[in-house]
Amino acid sequence: MSLVLGLLSHTLNRVLRYSGLRRGCHAPRHQAMEQDKALEVYGDCRGAVGGSRVVPEGEAWDIIRTIRDPEKPNTLEELEVVTESCVEVHEIGEDEYLVIIRFTPTVPHCSLATLIGLCLRIKLQRCLPFRHKLEIYISEGTHSTEEDINKQINDKERVAAAMENPNLREIVEQCVAEPD
């Protein structure tokens, strides 16, 4: 099973990397730069009335906490890959939010980090009950190829290409399925 997951992760990385949709820009290297860029693109609401709402943060957290690890029988919460503090939600318009997730792989060379990011994106896209823009990042300094992975999991075209692969789609579906 571990070998199959490793091969699928490798395939996902290749599909995303060589999808022909490479962009000229580089992913931001620092957390503050990432957030500033996101707020610049989507609007800075910190000064607005109601700035950040706790309700959407709680909703986003409740959605991602039950995602299963692709390799282990645990949830991402149990493995501390995601924590409640890794979820940020900023209001960017009337009933529209910027959701920023920062996750921490269990080891700096985790071969499934891209797959975990893909699972986070797919489940949030399907389950968030409000209009949103998603940005998902590996926590700074926690993975050897974080810059590349951040680019991959935030590129809609690469994510769509990855989800067209039936083997990857099956693994994602298993990971994001609600526990019984």
Give 7 or 27, the one with higher predicted confidence.
7
Model confidence, pTM: 0.70
User: 49 falls in which pLDDT band (50, 70, 90)?
Assistant: very low
Beta-carbon contacts of residue 117 (< 8 Å; ≥ 6 apart): 103, 136, 138, 149, 152, 153
Is pLDDT above 80 for 145?
Answer: yes
> What is the Cα–Cα distance from 52 to 89, expressed in whole angstroms?
6
Phi, psi of 148 (to 5 degrees): -65, -45
Residues 120 and 67: beta-carbon distance below 8 Å: yes
pLDDT tens string 127-137: 988 888 999 99
Is pLDDT above 70 for 166?
Answer: yes
